[in-house]
Structure 1
């Protein structure tokens, strides 16, 4: 006898949507020939948002292991998109900073993200999409222990 499982719960839906959006971003970024992977693009966006940031803090904000981020940053640094410098407050730590060359990549990835968003939204109006985003931000804030006004992401 099959077991009852609610695959339409919020957890399953959010996990499925996340997986599908990441796969679509991977495909679209590769197809666009931008020269970075979706993971590397995420690292660039998080670094752009943070400004000069410690590598371990960036990994934490992205929700990835330090070694995963290190691989992304190695490739981004080789492409001249980021620099890593020693933290003057802690010689063991590295600070990540974007180069000017990263701006063009961020713009190109942003264009791809707009296309993926349009595909994901389908027949939803802009108002419906924005309402969905606001509701999801509230859920995220609730789970993170923040009120929506405290949540800047």
Structure 2
């Protein structure tokens, strides 16, 4: 008799919550009148948290293709919210920065995020939220370690060919 998957297993619950949270955020941004698409809003906030990072790193952290990010960056740059600067360590690479004119927009996006999270976490106390946050950060760190091990293993396999 095959083992049936449990829809309430931690992995399934995490995936469901992440998908639903992203969808709710995208609906809020789409209806907030900010003049950005949800993808552009996510990109702008991520750039603000990774100020001065390379495009490739931002794309990886967002879990999107570099070409998709490039489209978002082109639009955000044309609106004057970000700038691309040459990387002094690698002239082929660009470092991404927010501009001062992005400040108010980032604050508005953050307000939408905060209000959404207040609804999502309704009925959960601060101590519980701190515990959830702490455990989620541990899961993230464990997943990063797995990715790094996988990358190291892939590199070793490539060199061995």
TMscore range, shorter length: 0.7 to 0.9
Partner Cα separation in structure 2 for residue 61 and residue 99 of structure 1 = 21
Given the alignment of the two structures, is residue 47 of structure 1 paired with residue 47 of structure 2, yes or no? yes
Q: CA deviation at 1:56?
A: 1.3
2:70 corresponds to which residue? 70
Deviating beyond 4 angstroms after TM superposition, the runs of 4 or more aligned structure 1 residues are none
Q: CA deviation at 1:15?
A: 0.9
Offset from partner CA, 1:34-60 (integer Å, 9 cap, x none):
122222222222211222121112112
Structure 2 residue runs of 5 or longer lacking an equivalent are 147-161
SS at 2:39's partner residue?
helix
Partner Cα separation in structure 2 for residue 83 and residue 68 of structure 1 = 17
Q: CA deviation at 1:77?
A: 1.0
Partner Cα separation in structure 1 for residue 127 and residue 39 of structure 2 = 29
1:31 corresponds to which residue? 31
Q: CA RMSD in A?
A: 2.1
Structure 1 residue runs of 5 or longer lacking an equivalent are 147-153
2:95 corresponds to which residue? 95
Work out which structure has the larger RCO, using CA pairs closer than 8 Å and 6 or more positions apart in sequence.
1
Higher Rg = 2
Q: Which has the higher helix share?
A: 2
Partner Cα separation in structure 2 for residue 3 and residue 26 of structure 1 = 36
Q: CA deviation at 1:5?
A: 2.0
- Which stretch has the larger CA shift, 83-92 or 61-70? 83-92
Normalising by structure 2, we get a TM-score of 0.81
Number of corresponding residues: 146
Q: CA deviation at 1:127?
A: 2.1
Normalising by structure 1, we get a TM-score of 0.85
What aligned pairs does 1:52-131 form with structure 2 within 5 A after superposition? 52-131=52-131
